């Protein structure tokens, strides 16, 4: 055993009177525990996403939580906020740069290329429900670890697919009863060439107006001029209103594509707003982009976003693969559901609490508890050595509907007391086949599942 260094060992005289308390740890800034109450919402969101995904032919994928940094820096663009400021990057022992995933698309495209999915029938439709990590400044609705449901269609370019994606995002929010709290914003960024020309035009326009831009936008002019368009600064916005418009730089093909996406959205009765300033912050987007905004707060606290990214596969060393996708933030959806007072089904309720006294009672309680579970009912008990009073308190706190009480006398007489925890009424039952008797009283369907179903 190594001796602790003197500087880290508390001096004996210091500890004579007060025993040093071990440090109480807390979650890191911007990280949070997803407690049981959150999980009920999360389960509902996952179900809605899975259900809508399956209906549309999506299959689930899980990519690693960490990738070689280049997967993200090359995809999202060196000038994007995410790559410049928000990545959790670390160096492996061998000196390789690795990053916790800040978003889902780049990793999924890396997987598509790595596994030769271009040889599968196209399009390949994948969804994921995963944690993401961004070294963002934590604030309301903004965390350093958050969760996204994400959908990607790879290997096809068709305005109908873009419209179907937006429709599906909308449907998921409808299923979760919050569609009326959001606005869908859409725009077209045109092709990579259209955008390059437009960025040049923006640079020219702002060349002699730089000093009038906010500090942030001055920096954006160097790194990512498109981002000036979605600046929140009022003076920036006045200048932006006079700047060249992206739509004037779209090729005929991109214009037509955008018109068709909108036509299909109308056909599908998805309400949307056109927003010329919507650029998304990442380099890989082209043509259709969209965001799902909070009706009252706009882009702040957006619920989701996505778009088309036809050039991404090539940036990651693959062959040309047109693709479209979107992600929605789970924490923000949950906040909306809470604000809208949506109740979520909580399946964690306890049906039976089995209380016991004595060795014999404990054995019986153990058997009854596990039998009830096997039959599909939620049962706890058969534990500890507390007094009957203390156990009944536990039963009450557990929210159990019924308590099955096995006192020493009852067990000796092959009986048990069944207590209705809502009404406080009790009755005596025989221990023979007691499980069936209490299930009849409960009158609730069992919570069973069959593997392979």
Q: Which residues bind ligand AMP (CB under 6 A)?
A: 103, 134, 136, 141-143, 146, 148, 302-305, 327-329, 331-332
User: Which residue number, 103 or 162, has a Cβ lying nearer to ligand AMP?
Assistant: 103
Q: Pick the closer one to ligand AMP by CB: 135 or 205.
A: 135
State the Rg of the chain over Cα: 29
Residues linked to residue 406 through DSSP beta bridges, in sequence order: 356
- Overall size of the chain counted in residues: 453
In whole angstroms, give the CA distance from residue 42 to residue 344.
10
- Nearest distance from residue 235's CB to ligand AMP, in Å? 25
Contacts 24+ apart (CB under 8 A), 61-65: 61/108, 61/111, 61/126, 61/127, 61/128, 62/128, 62/130, 63/101, 63/104, 63/107, 63/108, 63/110, 63/111, 63/128, 63/130, 64/101, 64/107, 65/100, 65/101, 65/130, 65/131, 65/133
Helix (H) or strand (E) holding 356: strand 352-356
Residue at shortest CB range from ligand AMP: 329
Q: Closest separation between CB of residue 333 and ligand AMP, Å?
A: 7
- 280 vs 351, which CB is nearer to ligand AMP? 280
Cβ neighbours for 252, distance < 8 A, ≥ 6 positions apart: none
DSSP 8-state secondary structure symbol assigned to residue 419: E
Q: 64 — phi, psi (to 5°)? A: -60, 160
Closest CB 437 distance from ligand AMP, rounded Å: 50
Of 326 and 402, the one with the shorter C-beta distance to ligand AMP is 326
Which CB sits closer to ligand AMP, 105 or 191? Answer: 105
**Measured from the CB of residue 328, what is the shortest distance to ligand AMP in angstroms?**
6
Residue 313 makes CB contacts below 8 A (sequence gap 6+) with 109, 112, 113, 154, 319, 320, 321, 323
Least Å distance between CB 138 and ligand AMP? 8
Nearer CB in complex with ligand AMP: 146/264: 146
Instruction: Decide if 327 contacts 376 (C-beta within 8 A).
Output: no
CB of residue 376 to ligand AMP, shortest distance in Å: 37
Q: Which residues of 29-41 are buried (b: 16+ CB within 10 A; e: fewer)?
A: ebeeeeeeeeebb
The distance of closest approach from Cβ of residue 362 to ligand AMP in the complex, given in angstroms and rounded to an integer, is 47
Comparing CB distances to ligand AMP, the nearer of 31 and 205 is 31
């Amino acid at each position: 055993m190594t001796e602790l260094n003197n500087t880290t060992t508390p001096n004996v005289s210091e500890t004579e009177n007060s025993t040093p308390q071990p440090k109480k740890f807390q979650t890191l800034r911007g990280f949070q525990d997803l407690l049981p109450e959150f999980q009920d919402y999360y389960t509902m969101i996952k179900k809605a996403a899975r259900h809508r995904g399956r209906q549309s032919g999506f299959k689930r994928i899980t990519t690693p939580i960490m990738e070689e940094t280049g997967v993200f820096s090359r995809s999202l663009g060196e000038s994007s906020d995410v790559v410049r400021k928000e990545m959790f990057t670390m160096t492996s022992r061998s000196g390789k740069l690795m990053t916790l995933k800040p978003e889902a698309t780049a990793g999924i495209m890396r997987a598509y290329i790595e596994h030769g999915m271009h040889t599968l029938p196209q399009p390949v439709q994948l969804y994921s429900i995963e944690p993401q990590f961004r070294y963002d400044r934590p604030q309301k609705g903004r965390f350093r670890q958050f969760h996204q449901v994400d959908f990607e269609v790879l290997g096809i370019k068709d305005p109908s697919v873009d419209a179907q994606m937006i429709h599906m995002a909308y449907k998921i929010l409808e299923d979760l009863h919050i569609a009326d709290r959001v606005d869908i914003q859409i725009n077209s960024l045109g092709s990579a060439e259209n955008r390059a020309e437009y960025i040049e035009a923006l640079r020219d326009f702002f060349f002699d107006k730089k000093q009038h831009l906010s500090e942030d936008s001055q920096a954006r002019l160097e790194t990512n001029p498109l981002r000036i368009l979605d600046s929140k600064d009022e003076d920036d916005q006045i200048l932006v209103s006079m700047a060249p418009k992206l739509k004037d730089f779209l090729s005929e093909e991109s214009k037509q594509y955008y018109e068709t996406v909108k036509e299909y959205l109308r056909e599908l009765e998805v309400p949307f707003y056109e927003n010329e300033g919507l650029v998304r912050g990442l380099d890989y987007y082209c043509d259709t982009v969209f965001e799902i905004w909070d009706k009252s707060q706009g882009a702040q606290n957006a619920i989701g976003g996505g778009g088309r990214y036809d050039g991404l596969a090539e940036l990651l060393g693959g062959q040309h693969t047109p693709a479209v996708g979107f992600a929605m933030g789970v924490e923000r959806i949950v906040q909306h559901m809470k604000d809208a007072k949506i109740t979520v089904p909580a399946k964690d309720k306890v049906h039976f609490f089995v209380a016991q006294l004595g060795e014999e009672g404990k054995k019986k309680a153990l058997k009854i508890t596990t039998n009830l579970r096997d039959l599909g009912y939620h049962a706890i008990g058969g534990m500890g050595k507390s007094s009957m009073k203390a156990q009944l308190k536990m039963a009450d706190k557990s929210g159990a509907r019924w308590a099955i009480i096995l006192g020493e006398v009852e067990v000796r007489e092959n009986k048990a007391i069944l207590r209705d925890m809502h009404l406080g009424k009790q009755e005596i039952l025989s221990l023979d086949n007691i499980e069936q008797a209490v299930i009849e009283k409960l009158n609730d369907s069992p919570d069973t599942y069959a593997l392979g179903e």
